Chains A and B, each alone.
Chain A
Amino acid sequence: MGLKVLIVEDSKASREFIAATVESISGVEAFTTSSGFEALKLLPRHRFDLIITDINMPDINGLELINFVKKNPNYRETPLFIITTEGREQDRDRGMALGAAEYLVKPFEPQNLEGLLRRYLKLA
């Protein structure tokens, strides 16, 4: 069974870019959604091995999603990356304080993301 990565990002281009990077690693499957609500629905149905989320989204914000994941015994152990933008340091710091494992500042290189993914998914 492959590893599953959930990508929550409302910009389509960015979402697909991340998904392509995730799926470039063999044995890893990307699940994408543009909405925090959808992410809340997906969480109980799949055991995700890693979550990547944006902060500014239209329904719930990424920090709330992190809080939800990190407070829930079922998901608490799942590593979580946040995608941030330059200038949004307060949001980034809050995300890290809530338990995010890593943050990526847009625009980022696919190699960086791939390296982090391999590290947290414990792949060579």
Chain B
Amino acid sequence: MNQGGKALSEFVAEATEILDTLNKDLLTLDERRGQEVDPDLINGIFRAAHSLKGLAGLFGQDRIARLAHGMEDLLDRLRLGKLVLDDTTLDSLVEALDVLQALLVDASRGEASSSQSSRVEGLIERFTHLGAPTAPGEEDPLDRLELDAQVRAVFTEYEEHRLRENVRRGVALWRVRADFDLSDFDKGLAELNSRLKPVGEIISTLPSAQPSSASGIAFDLIFGSKVSGMELAAALEGTPAQLSQLGVRSPAHGRSAQPASREPPRAAAVARPAEPAPPPATPPPSPAAPAKAAAPEEPRTPAKGRSGAKKGKAAPRSLPPPPVPESELPPPMLTPPPVPGLGISDALAEGVSGDSGSRGPRIDPDTSLRSLTQTVRVDIRRLDGLMNTVGELLLIKANLQRMTETARQEGTLVLSKAWVTELARETRQLERKLDALQSGLLEARMVPVGQVFDKLARLVRRIAREAGKEIDFLSTGGEVELDKLIVEELSDPLMHIIRNAIDHGVEPPDVRVAAGKARRAAVSLRAEQKGNHVVIEVSDDGSGIDEHRVREVAILKGLITEAQAHEMNRRELLNLIFLPGFSTARNVSELSGRGVGLDVVKNNISNLSGLIDVWSERGRGTAFQLTLPLTLAIIRALVVGVSGRTYAVPLNSVLEILSVQTKDIRTVERREVLDLRGQTLPFARLARLFNLPERNTGRHFVVVVGLAQERMGIAVDELFGQQDIVTKPLGGRLQSVRGISGATDLGNRRTVLVLDVAALLEDGMGPERRWA
């Protein structure tokens, strides 16, 4: 098949989606270790592996296809009850997901590194030997179910297995029949599913081959449930569903044709429903139904059934439409089925006579080829492209505004006043629409941080197991949205911090118990939106960071001098862990990766215009806090001038603007500060930071910027107003210039630099300015 760029990116996009689903479902499975396994979950994972295999096969991704195939085989045996899910199996599945993810990364780069090959082979080999076989059953419980062979013929192997499991466990099986209009039956079925799911398992959804009316369609849902018929009827109230129970012969009778008495679990349901039987929500079916109901004992097609069990007492029966006069009516059916006493396929073949009740014929021809999903996947670069266009439009708008203003002031000689007013109005309109376009585009880029949280949750379980730590992982705020690019870039730094927390932060269970703490440690991941920023916090209740040890190490490694250490407060000491070359871990653990320290984490966060901070208390725990902008795509900026040059300051970090006199500036410990409403504010002159000639004016404009709890005043010469800017990254040598995050075009064909507020704040108070 075509392995070209477009095809490849399509493969990667779809495979990523499948892996995300796999990840989520495996995580749920992992969380429920030891509990009874939800068959839908296993089936979902099986389907994902199956899709991935097919997809990879089509795109010639051999290793992915082979591994997915191995997974699929294993999952197939699991879902068909041929194997039981145990811990080793689950761990292998989780490992396979990791390998698949690594393979996909290879594939997306167009590489086929051999590093994963042995893992792939190992896993495939292991899969074939995995799993504890289930005890073989003596007889097929499905044979005891009074279900026509023709209905069985449309079940897939899996559906048949689920039916068998329900029979084997003595779960009552029901047929839920409902008529819908052809135009919106999927909505009706979705409603029915949402009512039924909480009380049991939907095994199959069979469309009836015979239309109930010209524009209608009937469905039979085969449903297994432990709740009583009354409860089931109550759950279905208000839907067009009709309920009837499928008879099951008791195992003792084996395959004998003798209709058996009902099984005890159902007896309760059977005993009740005679009283005020809940009325069916829909009008009673055609008048013919009660008449047919009166003759349930009559075998319609005696030769057809698997046995004589269909007739006689065990056959499903019905109540006539309410009110029900006699209380001794055989009760399993709460509402009249269209054709009682027959197997389902007979019902399917015969169809439901008459109309579909109140549902009128409403066919919407427009829906014919419409997809059921309402989302599209878009390459983020396309959104970037659109955003650039918006940025350019914004510049044109700014020019228009300027021209309008000029016309208003001086152009009245040539242009009529009315014309100028109209131009002004249209420009305002344009501005509003552009705002809408811009916020729409920004919204399209936003994704929930939960995408990363899910991946991390799985990682936590694995690392904790490998490290022999017992951990309760809690993540909250996964619904908080951030720019897609930021979310993508977050996973590595967060992973590193979490690994540190588990590996170095959290104590082993016995140490915790000895220290009087709970045996299980808590690691939590929390996201919260605060204005234009999102704060993400990773915290643990482990041993905390020993700041004395940090100090020792920093001096030992020559990062600071004794004298400098002496001046530093606790918080400054803690922040030394972000310096390159710092690591307090006594031995390099495999878990935290080699050579990569918190300095890299800090760097990653800075590249996102974010800030990282650490809090720790010995014996109580550690918390890392990341403060990130919502988006990097387009921002509102304050345009300022310093020494004849122009800079842009992202407005989301501007708190206020002050006008101060030179005499208001004090020097404390060799740093300039301002007093602002009784608080000391660090102060920096932009001109000095960038080595520009300073103007000697008595007054300064001070832009007060802040991120998280950091505050700082930046002195500038001039203020030019606000403007929306699209920041472009700097290339080449400029990339590493501290304090600059990018460049932007201001419309008058002037390119200006954008200040990196996070970096300026760090330099203003952190250790680097003095020691780096």
Contacts and interface: CB of A to CB of B under 8 A. Distances in A.
A11 to B, nearest CB: 5
A58 B153 contact: no
Interface string A1-23: 00000000011111001000000
Contacts of B51: 10-11
A7 B183 CA distance: 20
Interface centre among B205, B207, B211 (most CB of A within 10 A): B207
A42 interface: yes
Interface in A53-68: 55-56, 58-68
Given A11-B51, A31-B369, A40-B185, A87 B73 contact: yes
A67 B154 contact: yes
Interface string B638-680: 0000000000000000000000000000000000000000000
A59 B50 contact: no
A37 B369 contact: no
B209 interface: yes
B215 to A, nearest CB: 9
B206 to A, nearest CB: 5
Given A41-B367, A41-B368, A58-B47, A97 B58 contact: no
A97 B157 CA distance: 14
B50 A63 contact: no
B705 interface: no
A13 B55 contact: yes
Interface centre among A14, A41, A98 (most CB of B within 10 A): A41
B541 interface: no
B127 interface: no
B14 interface: yes
Nearest to A71: B209
Interface in B39-85: 47, 50-51, 54-55, 57-59, 73, 76
A106 B52 CA distance: 13
A88 interface: yes
A68 B157 contact: no
B73 A40 contact: no
A60 B156 contact: no
Contacts of B14: 12-13
Contacts of B159: 61
B616 interface: no
Contact of B217 (A12, A40, A58): A40
Contacts of A64: 154, 204-207
B372 A94 contact: no
B348 interface: yes
A71 B349 contact: yes
A38 interface: yes
A58 B230 CA distance: 29
Contact of B365 (A45, A63, A97, A107): A45
Contacts of B59: 13
Nearest to A86: B69
Contacts of A107: 54, 57-58
B719 interface: no
B174 interface: no
Nearest to B65: A107
Nearest to B44: A58
Contacts of B368: 41-42, 45-46
A11 B72 CA distance: 15
A24 B154 CA distance: 32
Contacts of B372: 34-35, 37-38
A63 B154 contact: yes
B683 interface: no
B424 interface: no
Contacts of A111: none
24 contacts: A13-B10, A37-B186, A40-B207, A41-B183, A41-B367, A42-B368, A42-B369, A55-B156, A60-B207, A64-B154, A64-B204, A67-B153, A67-B154, A67-B209, A71-B348, A71-B349, A72-B210, A85-B54, A87-B73, A90-B157, A91-B157, A94-B155, A98-B154, A107-B58
